[in-house]
Amino acid sequence: MVREVTTLQTTPWASGPLKVVDSGECHRSAVEGFERVKAEDEDPVQRWQSISDWYAEFAAKPHWEFLTPMVGLTAWVAEQPFAASLFPATSHEHLCVQLRSGYNPDLPLISCTATGDGQFACELWAAVGSSRGQRVVPLCHARGVFAEFVAFLQGL
């Protein structure tokens, strides 16, 4: 079941509630996140393994345990055919994904995270500060929503 969020913007591709949120958190830390992992590695398995390892380390810290589901999600992504076209990074709690290596705030991206209340939030951005919409679902739907948003990202 999708948790209701305030609808501030609608998009033709959305199949659930949407909201526009401030992109500041993702933007402020994204450069650091892109530098901390192997986002530019030519091997997609290495790119995603470095993200998974980073989440495992971060989720082991006090008060960040809610990020533990991101370890499994990123490991799952590494096994998917679409992983080869994705370049991941983190902005602490958010996983940020672009279609090119290196951080570029003018390019489309996905940002997603596990929340402390057992939800998964995924947002599509045309560029930093230009949200196309967000879905918030129970964690058990994270893989499907992530794959859906990858298709949206690839279509921009």
Single pTM value for the model: 0.74
**Mean pLDDT over the full length of the chain:** 79
Domains in the chain: boundaries: 24-155
Interval 30-41: pLDDT, tens:
344 444 555 566
pLDDT at 7 over 50: no
Contact (CB, 8 A) for 94 and 111: yes
| Contact residues for 86 (Cβ-Cβ < 8 A; gap 6+) | 44, 47, 77, 97, 98, 99, 150
> Tell me: the pLDDT tens digits for 44-90?
888 899 999 999 998 999 999 999 999 999 999 999 999 999 999 88
